[in-house]
């Protein structure tokens, strides 16, 4: 994959309305998300070993290798912290398996949505995607409300 395609993938992730809602309600800053996406895309779609110096060049704002590395580390710590938070809430009984079923269903719908985006290009498919997008946005909004944590 060439550098232009890599940059397009990074840019596209910021134009995705579903990703925007999820990012807004996540533990990531926009900069942490950007570093995480750049690192993920390059590590998974490039056949070359790319250094942090080069990865930093894909950021929307010019930063040093050290700044990129620190921000990426912060994003990774947020991921680990989120996992521990969910496990803790499950362990003490605030979460049980029921809410996770709803999140799992939503995650599966998000995966199907991504598959459809990548495989469709007709006008009819775009209308269908917009309908699914609205359903996903509503589902995310409902699960992100504090009322979804009834027992807390």
Instruction: Determine the pLDDT at residue 22.
Output: 85
Q: How many CB atoms lie within 10 A of CB 36?
A: 19
Give residue-wise pLDDT tens across range 55-79.
998 898 989 999 999 999 999 999 9
Tell me the HSE value of 53 on the side-chain side, using a 13 A CA sphere: 0
Q: Please report the beta strands in 14-131, taking only residues with DSSP state E, as ranges in sequence order.
A: none
Using an 8 Å Cβ cutoff, are 132 and 113 in contact?
Answer: yes
Using an 8 Å Cβ cutoff, are 53 and 65 in contact?
Answer: yes
43 vs 30: CA distance, rounded Å: 20
* DSSP structure class, residue 25: T
Q: Where residue 116 falls among pLDDT bands split at 50, 70, 90?
A: confident
67 vs 94: CA distance, rounded Å: 37
Query: pTM of the entire structure?
Result: 0.74
Instruction: Determine the pLDDT at residue 80.
Output: 93
């Amino acid at each position: 994959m060439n550098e232009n395609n890599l940059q397009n993938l990074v840019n596209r992730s910021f134009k995705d309305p579903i990703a925007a809602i999820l990012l807004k309600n996540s533990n990531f800053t926009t900069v942490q998300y950007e570093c995480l996406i750049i690192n993920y895309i390059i590590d998974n779609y490039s056949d070359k070993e790319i250094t942090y110096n080069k990865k930093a060049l894909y950021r929307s704002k010019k930063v040093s290798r050290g700044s990129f590395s620190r921000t990426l580390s912060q994003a990774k710590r947020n991921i680990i912290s989120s996992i521990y938070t969910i496990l803790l809430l499950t362990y003490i009984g605030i979460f049980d398996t029921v809410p996770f079923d709803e999140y799992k269903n939503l995650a599966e719908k998000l995966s199907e949505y991504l598959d459809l985006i990548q495989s469709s290009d007709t006008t009819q498919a775009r209308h269908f995607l917009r309908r699914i997008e609205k359903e996903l946005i509503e589902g995310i909004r409902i699960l992100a409300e504090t009322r979804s944590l009834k027992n807390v």
